[in-house]
Amino acid sequence: MPRPARILAFGDNVVDCYRDQNLMFPGGNCVNHAVFARRAGAETAYAGAVCDDDAGHLIRRALLEEGVDISSLRIEPGQTAYCVIETPDGDRVFVGANLGVSIIAPSKADLARLSDFDAVHTGRSSHVDAWLPHFAQATKVSYDLATVYDPERIARVAPHCFLLAFSAGGVSRNQALALAQEARAAGARWSLATRGVEGALLAGDAGVFEVPAQPVDAIDTLGAGDTYIANVLVGLLESREPETILTTAAAAAARTCLIRGAFGHAATMSVDVSNMMSLEEVYRTTRPAEAPEETQGAIFESKTTIANAK
């Protein structure tokens, strides 16, 4: 029996604070990915940074309970990242956030682990784009651009990617398809566009594959897109058929919509939100993780980006 896929999620984390319910849940794209890929059958690890506070304890405890390797989880002074959510009339609204200590560059130990994994997952929320060439020299790269459709950003990221994903729920099918094809033309081996209730499409060498969403009476859609990306990555790494991969991912995303928070593990909200910033301010003021030095790439074996992308 072949061994399970092995995936390292590197970067962002957050506790999602539902202020009107006085609850908080562990989350963030990379934390979610590590959990959902684990649930999909992969062996997963998470590398990131939290603090010795209630939010950090919740993230750490949830990852352990989900079977995720947290040996690369750092404990830093400061505050664990949080996002404040409200649900007027049942609709989820992001009120504000503070990224705390979550934006970090990989350490030498993190980099040394990469070649032990079949893929590393990260994304726009982790702010480590400068490290992508180094990641891609060691293993395959999965990257979530979310709602960033900027052609220049796609052109910079795609050449390093085995899988490049977009959240395209607010655009037409033709626009979603154009995004996927643009990512492919720029160098990504596979490109995924999740489209919410309209399903998803996956573009690769063999063409474009699509499946509808599975109907569900959603309680909370938080984490559904991350579920989809994680299941697609696991399926691709295990060389399953694209239609099977997408059908499995759609079912998993539907299940995510039936629980509160991205993957559960609710706790009473215990976060100081006095330093909360608007999302616009967060995006405007966040600085990328420290860029690598030129010599750091020498720690890897001489694997090429193109070889790993394919």
d(CA 69, CA 65): 10
Residues of the chain with pLDDT under 50: 295-308, 310
d(CA 252, CA 264): 14
d(CA 210, CA 195): 10
Q: Write out the H or E segment, with its range, that includes residue 14.
A: strand 14-18
Cα separations in angstroms, 204 against 60, 136, 184? 36, 18, 7
- pLDDT score at 310: 46
257-268 pLDDT, tens per residue? Answer: 999 999 999 999
* Residue 89 burial class via C-beta count within 10 angstroms: exposed 0-12, middle 13-18, buried 19 and up: exposed
Which of 291, 279, 302, 259 is CA-nearest to residue 125? 279
Report domain extents, the chain.
6-290
Q: Give the CA-trace dihedral at 63, 64, 70, 73, to 10 degrees.
A: 60
- pLDDT score at 304: 41
Which of 132, 79, 76 is CA-nearest to residue 104? 76
- pLDDT score at 105: 98
Architecture of domain 6-290: 3-Layer(aba) Sandwich (3.40)
Report angle CA 34, 37, 41 to the nearest 5 degrees: 130
What percentage of the chain reaches a pLDDT higher than 70?
93
